[in-house]
Structure 1
Amino acid sequence: MKYVQCAMRRNIAGGSVRTTSYIPQEFAKVGRVLRLKDDNVGWVDGWVVECVGDVIVEGDQLPDSHKAIKNHRKSTGDSTPRLHA
């Protein structure tokens, strides 16, 4: 399956929230309303695709965001335990 990075927005009480994610190419159309999976609450309706990227990647080549965050924290010291006074 092919994926495209998209910027999306969802209206909430008092404003809106935005996210960027790789989604299947078939759903990557500006103006399309999607349901995205949230790790904490399950599926969330109302995400509107605002911007579709130019690069198309195969599913096995998707960046691993968890790994990237972990590597960033290690390289910047953000993963170092904090001293509590």
Structure 2
Amino acid sequence: MSSTHSLFSERRERSSRPGESYWTALAPRDQHRLALHAALTVAGIPPRPEDRDAIDQLSALPSSINATLQRGLLHTA
């Protein structure tokens, strides 16, 4: 078994949710950006290319503020 295969297997076994190891490998700003994209889409507001700068700026805010934004968006969905 290759060391790469072993590494992925170990990550998959330690993860409590599918894809969690990939999520935690992302920087917080990237996690916020993806979560905001998802929340906007679920709320019926699919992000447009011109929204990229605004989403990037919002993604730089602390996790607590991003959680509040996402909660508000998902509450309206």
Q: TM over 0.5: same fold?
A: no
TM-score by length of 2: 0.21
TM-score by length of 1: 0.20
Greater helix content: 2
Greater strand content: 1
